[in-house]
Amino acid sequence: MCGIWGVFEFNTVAATIPIVLRRMSDAMIHRGPDDCGAWAAPQLQAGLTVRRLTILDLVTGNQPLWNEDESVAVICNGEIYNHRALREELVAREHRFRSTSDCEVIVHLYEEYGQDCLSRLEGMFGLAIFDIPGRSLLLARDPAGMKPLYYARTPAGLFFASEIKALLATQLIGAAPDWTGLNSFFSWEYVIAPLTAFEGIHSVCAGESILLTPGSEVHAFFYRVEFASEEKTLSEDDYAARLEMLLDRAVASHLDADVQVGSFLSGGWDSSLVAWFAARRTSKKLKTYSLVFPEEPAESEARFSRLVADQIGSDHQEVEFRTTQIPDLLERVAGAAENPQGSSPSPLLYT
């Protein structure tokens, strides 16, 4: 988990760009303890900052990442799973890379395809690309909406961040409730993007891009879910083989890291399958983690997670959760979630 934030069309005497970026940074230390990179350009009324939790390229992958002549910068919270194939393609087109970071492919891909580069990315991401010659900022969120990205347009400029609390930390954005967003929660137990629980603060939608230029804001979707019909009906064995291939490929793409990879293992079908495919793909013993409930053994799935851990030979650890922890957790969970949660076991996941 990393965190990105920044400002565009900054226009206020209440603070300077570095001061505002520092306020936002202090609110998101928890998202990236390994590095904090910043770029501020008062003459362009813009600034970018990122806190990084290093997964790939621990040494030279610090952000912002630039193209060859430093005319385009990218900051990204996420992982690009097809970065190796994209890198080969871009090197063949004579792009020069400064790091082995998966996110550096984004800035070179932007040079080649402009905004259309987004449809070439496979992964989870919330990103911002600043184009100095074009005087533009491009915000985008991955097709599944796995990585959060929020923004607020104010008289002082447009601010964006991976978390709402960073926007509030600017001291230029108020914390008033958005009743339309809250109404959507009461209807569906979820605040539906682009709404949030906060007035004036919006979420970038899954698969959406926002192109910002001075005085202009253009929203577009670079990805939409489509359900294609099969030309012919496949057998159950064919569907099973296809599903296994897709799961294996998806899990393998998540294992590309320069640090040890672990997996949450609840004992249910989804986490068990992910752990099984991961263990088959890793050269080191996979680390797995489960929550157990000593006070309510009937509700605990520990027997299933232990069975799976034994079968795949993982280095398994159990974390105990007790009801006495809930009062102390609630305030921290609400602060971390930012938007209300109706169906997610937030205190358990926070633990």
Give just the sign of the alpha carbon dihedral 7, 13, 19, 24. negative
Distances (CA, A) of 245 to 93, 97, 274, 277: 31, 32, 13, 10
The Cα–Cα gap between 292 and 302 comes to 6
The length of the chain in residues reads: 351
The Cα–Cα gap between 91 and 105 comes to 10
The Cα–Cα gap between 55 and 69 comes to 26
Residue 2 catalytic?
Answer: yes
The Cα–Cα gap between 206 and 118 comes to 12
The Cα–Cα gap between 12 and 25 comes to 19
Tokens of 183: 């109404």
Could you give the 3-state DSSP secondary structure of residue 166? helix
Q: Which helix (H) or strand (E) holds 17?
A: helix 17-26
Choose the catalytic residue: 2, 76, 103, 117: 2
Give just the sign of the alpha carbon dihedral 321, 323, 328, 329. positive
Of 108, 111, 118, nearest to 65 by C-alpha is: 108
Which pairs count as long-range contacts for 147-150, CB under 8 Å and 24+ apart, including other chains? Answer: 147/77, 147/78, 148/203, 149/4, 149/77, 149/203, 149/204, 150/196, 150/201, 150/202, 150/203, 150/204
Residues 89, 92, 246: CA angle, nearest 5 degrees: 20
The Cα–Cα gap between 232 and 239 comes to 12
Kindly write down the DSSP assignment for every residue of 324-340, as one continuous string.
GGHHHHHHHHHHHH-S-
Q: What residues are labeled active site?
A: 2
